[in-house]
Amino acid sequence: MPLIFFSVIGLLYNVQFPVRLIGQMNLNLAVIILVFVTVYYFLLSKSLSVGMLLFSLACIGLCYEITAITTVPLWAICIGIFVLAWIGQFYGHNIEGKKPSFLKDLQYLMIGPAWLMSFVYKKLGIAL
């Protein structure tokens, strides 16, 4: 699930605006959307929003590093990750015997990192 979240963030990262953020990184659509995502998670759970913010920043940082170290376009890498992760998701659905619609599945997969993080929080004794 985090791979699909990352791949969508990576695709949004490709939509660049001519405004510098930090170093050589321009403002991009991923940063804008993640601001709203962070606010949404903050309204649900302050501690979960911190974890999602850190995970989102890691995704943005990874996108930045990928674009800096390779000549392969980030969008191509992210589409490859998305397709492979989606195949894995379909395999998992086959094992479970479930067949959700594409849009319903995508909705759940985009909140997947927060869902997984809630399990980690519970194991660590962090209140949601």
Q: What is the pLDDT of residues 95-111, one digit of tens each?
A: 877 776 777 766 666 67
Rounded distance, CA 81 to CA 23, Å? Answer: 27
pLDDT of residue 20: 85
pLDDT of residue 10: 96
pLDDT tens-place string over residues 44-97: 888 888 888 999 999 999 999 999 999 999 999 999 999 998 888 778 777 877
Give 113 or 52, the one with higher predicted confidence.
52
Q: Specify the DSSP class assigned to residue 16.
A: E
**pTM of the full structure:** 0.80
Q: Where are the domains of the chain?
A: 2-124
Q: Specify the DSSP class assigned to residue 20.
A: E
